[in-house]
Amino acid sequence: EVQLVESGGGLVQPGGSLKLSCAASGFTFSGSAMHWVRQASGKGLEWVGRIRSKPNNYATSYAASVKGRLTISRDDSKNTAYLQMNSLKTEDTAVYYCCRLDPEMEVIWGQGTLVTVSS
């Protein structure tokens, strides 16, 4: 079964850090670019960033709103992608989804994990 499972969400104070994980199964993870998308409560979908595959040098790209604070990485040996979140702000509060978003491949979304930034 094709699946993405996010974990690591929770409550964190402003200025704090959190690391999300995304475990993949059922497809060739190492050949896929992986994306993170977030959604604040009652709001639309916002692309956070992506990491490409090894043949593409694991190149990363980020939305301007998170650049310099959020970092995407991956471990192909574990079929897992990560989102390291530093210097968190209250406006980072959202459900974070891990996705495979490739125009030439099957689109895959995880179920999401909630991150709440609050004192």
Partner 1 sequence: SYEVTQSPSVSVSPGQTASITCSGDKLGDKYVCWYQQKPGQSPVVVIYQDRKRPSGIPERFSGSNSGNTATLTISGTQAMDEAEYYCQTWDSSTVVFGGGTKLTVL
Binding site for partner 1 (CB under 8 A): 35, 37, 44-47, 50, 61, 63-64, 97, 101, 103, 106-107, 109-112
Question: 14 by DSSP, 3-state: which?
Answer: coil
CB of 3 to partner 1, least distance (A): 12
Q: Considering the complex, state which of residue 11 and residue 45 has its C-beta at the smaller distance from partner 1.
A: 45
- Give least dist CB 15 to partner 1, A: 27
**Contact yes or no for 110/4 (Cβ under 8 A):** yes
Calculate the dihedral angle through the C-alpha atoms of 89, 91, 96, 98, rounding to the nearest 10 degrees.
Answer: -80
Residue placing its CB nearer to partner 1 in the complex, 3 or 13? 3
To partner 1, the closest distance from the beta carbon of 4 in angstroms equals 10
Beta carbons of 98 and 9 less than 8 angstroms apart: no
CA 111, distance to chain mean position in Å, is 12
